[in-house]
Chains A and B, each alone.
Chain A
Amino acid sequence: MKRNLWVARIVIFLTLAFLIGPFLIIIAAALSAGSSLAFPPQGFSLRWVIAVFEVKSFRASFGLSMFLAVFGTVASLILGVPAAYAVTRYRIPFGEAVRMAVAAPIIVPGIIVGLALLRYLVIPVGMTVTLALFLAHTALVLPYSVRVVSASLENLRPDIEEAAVLLGCSRFGAFARAVLPNIRGGILAAFILGFVTSFNQVPVSLFLSGPGVRTLPIDMLAYIEMTYDPSVAALSALLAFLSIAIVFAAERFLGLSRYV
């Protein structure tokens, strides 16, 4: 018995170490005083954390990635919430096909999506790279929006809408007042998931880069190819903290909203 318990503890410890370890290494590397990306770090300083903010291209690419993550996800929710509503509430023709099509961006490798967009949209049509990126990110996040929102809709009784209609709501009013407040958690979860997916997206964005138009991960890749200093580690650490902050804020917001 006792031995089993120890084995279990060791497995848990190793798993956690494997999950959290790289993150800790990155933080340590970011606080290095040396001038090349290395672990263990040489000395301690904040110079590379400060240096991140002085790299001009990081500022531009961070702006672009933020823009794509926020507006791409919002656009995917604007499309995805009604789609999720339709597939869960109605027996629409080709409903299963719609589900599959919506899930396609998860299944099709990003490299192919990126190449296809470049070859058939950007080059022949002359669409700007930014617009192509926006469309690509919206499409990539759409499966998460539909899935997550569908799941929360399925947990919600459909008759509360009928109850709302009988109490004087229009169809849309019933959706806004009876359905939306109850799937708010799902929508928020979809937003966070979509935001992170979009922000970390590499393969699609790899093809869709132009002069001065680069998402942050691509820019970071390009940066380490040229300059092998700890500022990339510093930037990674900052991004990780940003993600944690977003999740905590959401949890707090969700948790609060549930009990108010």
Chain B
Amino acid sequence: MSDDYVVLERLKLAYGETVAVHDLDLAITRGELLALLGPSGCGKTTTMRAIAGLLAPAAGRIFIDGADVTYTPPSKRNVGLVFQSYALFPHLSVFENVAFGLRIKREPKPSIDARSRAALATVGLEGFARRNPAELSGGQQQRLALARSLVMEPKLLLLDEPLSNLDARLRLEMRTELQRLQLETGVTMVFVTHDQSEALALADRIVVMKDGIAVQTGTPEEIYNRPRDVFVADFVGFDNILYFRNGMLTSDFGSTDTGEELPGSDALAWRPAEVILGSGPMQGRVIGASFAGQYREYVLDTGLGKIKAQAPADAPPHTIGGLVAFELPLAKAHRLPGTGK
């Protein structure tokens, strides 16, 4: 038996004529927490809906636990889905929302009661059983949606933007909650997000998607440190991306001579923290400055376009409108192979 719990084979998904996902191949390991990361419209939610069975693929196959479920109706897949909007049943109490699936399965009454209560306790909602879902806060509604899926003991749990509607404190709570669940139940989880920090913090593995194509798949470390192309680099915080050709650094806005020789014509990327500020061969005008606790963030208007840089908070601040010298150290540049112009 293979360790792959979900396998997508050349999956093509379309809404009518519009293709949302092109020939996606993906294997999701049993018990892993996988993130589908990408901007809106990249096909991540569509992919998740296809795994759940809410959308029939235009081509390709879907396997869950070794069985071909491409044409299995969603009700027979034992897949839990936590909707971004929660999709709670407004006419049912909190308790009945959780009990819904068990009642459909015609579980014996005592078992429905016990399991529903246990699921509510898991997400910390035991005192709310008789309330209406509308009387809960956003975070509580989300946990209710989670409990409603968990009570069915799914082997695969899909979550659509699980943290996006929560405030910072609840986010951390939910994050911890999901990781605890994964450890305790061994459930395979796939979640969709457009927020790279969420994906990096939570996932065992990340699939970065763009225009219906999986651009890069890897651990958070791999994605963060070794982005494969300009798109992924931009997505994980390489705010300064330039092209290097014939000793010149170029962007859409201009070019500058570095006096160095590098073979090839690659894209080079720097995080704001890697830009040296206060000295260097280039100059830029400060057009944005913001305090971020440990450091200050600056936006410079330069001959190469906008450059984002950081300086320690205890360094003397630069004022907006002033000129600042800076350097893009070639030694620290991340090379994005094969994407240079």
- A-contact 0/1 string along B66-78, CB 8 Å cutoff: 0000000111010
A164 touches B100 (CB 8 A): yes
B104 touches A168 (CB 8 A): yes
Which residues on the B side are within 8 Å of A156 (C-beta)? Answer: 90
Interface centre among A163, A167, A170, A173 (most CB of B within 10 A): A167
Question: Does A166 lie at the interface of the complex (its beta carbon under 8 Å from any beta carbon of B)?
Answer: yes
Binds A, one of B80-88, B182-190, B317-325, B327-335: B80-88
Which residues on the B side are within 8 Å of A169 (C-beta)? Answer: 75, 104
- Distance, CA A178 to CA B133, complexed state (A): 14
Q: With contacts A162-B54, A165-B75, A166-B74 known, is A182 near B91, CB below 8 A?
A: yes
Tell which of A160, A166, A168, A181 touches B81, judged by Cβ atoms closer than 8 Å.
Answer: A166
Question: Does B148 lie at the interface of the complex (its beta carbon under 8 Å from any beta carbon of A)?
Answer: yes
Q: With contacts A157-B85, A166-B80, A168-B75 known, is A181 near B91, CB below 8 A?
A: yes
- Distance, CA A220 to CA B148, complexed state (A): 58
Tell which of A166, A168, A178 touches B52, judged by Cβ atoms closer than 8 Å.
Answer: A166
B54 touches A182 (CB 8 A): no
Which residues on the A side are within 8 Å of B311 (C-beta)? Answer: none
A167 touches B148 (CB 8 A): yes
Tell which of A165, A168, A170, A181 touches B54, judged by Cβ atoms closer than 8 Å.
Answer: A165
A173 touches B54 (CB 8 A): no
Q: Chain B interface residue count: which class?
A: 20 to 34
B89 touches A163 (CB 8 A): yes
Which residues on the A side are within 8 Å of B79 (C-beta)? Answer: 166
B90 touches A168 (CB 8 A): no
B74 touches A165 (CB 8 A): yes
In the complex, what residue of chain A is closest to B16 when comparing beta carbons?
A91
Q: With contacts A181-B91, A182-B90 known, is A162 near B83, CB below 8 A?
A: yes
Which residues on the A side are within 8 Å of B73 (C-beta)? Answer: 165, 170
- Distance, CA A126 to CA B183, complexed state (A): 75
A163 touches B91 (CB 8 A): no
Q: Chain B's interface: helix, strand, loop or mixed, by majority?
A: loop
Which residues on the B side are within 8 Å of A178 (C-beta)? Answer: 89
A94 to chain B, nearest CB (A): 17
In the complex, what residue of chain B is closest to A159 when comparing beta carbons?
B87
- B-contact 0/1 string along A160-198, CB 8 Å cutoff: 101111111110010001100110000000000000000
Question: Does B101 lie at the interface of the complex (its beta carbon under 8 Å from any beta carbon of A)?
Answer: yes
A22 to chain B, nearest CB (A): 40
B17 to chain A, nearest CB (A): 13
Tell which of B87, B88, B91, B101 touches A168, judged by Cβ atoms closer than 8 Å.
Answer: B101
Which residues on the B side are within 8 Å of A177 (C-beta)? Answer: 100, 104
Which residues on the B side are within 8 Å of A163 (C-beta)? Answer: 81, 83, 87-89, 148
In the complex, what residue of chain A is closest to B100 when comparing beta carbons?
A167
Which residues on the B side are within 8 Å of A170 (C-beta)? Answer: 73, 75
A168 touches B89 (CB 8 A): no
B101 touches A159 (CB 8 A): no
In the complex, what residue of chain B is closest to A184 when comparing beta carbons?
B91
- Distance, CA A181 to CA B100, complexed state (A): 14
- The A-contacting residues of B in range 99-141, CB under 8 angstroms, are 100-101, 104-105
A253 to chain B, nearest CB (A): 15
- Distance, CA A162 to CA B90, complexed state (A): 14
- The A-contacting residues of B in range 161-213, CB under 8 angstroms, are none
- Distance, CA A230 to CA B87, complexed state (A): 58
Question: Does B152 lie at the interface of the complex (its beta carbon under 8 Å from any beta carbon of A)?
Answer: yes
Which residues on the B side are within 8 Å of A157 (C-beta)? Answer: 85, 87
Which residues on the A side are within 8 Å of B91 (C-beta)? Answer: 181-182
Which residues on the B side are within 8 Å of A162 (C-beta)? Answer: 54, 74, 81, 83, 87
A166 touches B75 (CB 8 A): yes
Q: With contacts A165-B74, A182-B90 known, is A159 near B152, CB below 8 A?
A: no
A55 to chain B, nearest CB (A): 46
Which residues on the B side are within 8 Å of A182 (C-beta)? Answer: 89-91
- Distance, CA A165 to CA B83, complexed state (A): 13
A61 to chain B, nearest CB (A): 40
- Distance, CA A157 to CA B83, complexed state (A): 12
B40 to chain A, nearest CB (A): 17
Which residues on the A side are within 8 Å of B52 (C-beta)? Answer: 166
A152 to chain B, nearest CB (A): 12
- Distance, CA A178 to CA B77, complexed state (A): 20
Which residues on the A side are within 8 Å of B148 (C-beta)? Answer: 163, 167
Chain B residues in contact with chain A, CB under 8 A? 52-54, 73-75, 77, 79-81, 83, 85, 87-91, 100-101, 104-105, 148-149, 152
Chain A residues in contact with chain B, CB under 8 A? 156-157, 159-160, 162-170, 173, 177-178, 181-182
20 cross-chain CB contacts under 8 A: A162-B87, A163-B81, A163-B87, A163-B88, A165-B73, A166-B52, A166-B53, A166-B54, A166-B77, A166-B79, A166-B80, A166-B149, A168-B101, A168-B104, A170-B73, A170-B75, A178-B89, A181-B91, A182-B89, A182-B90
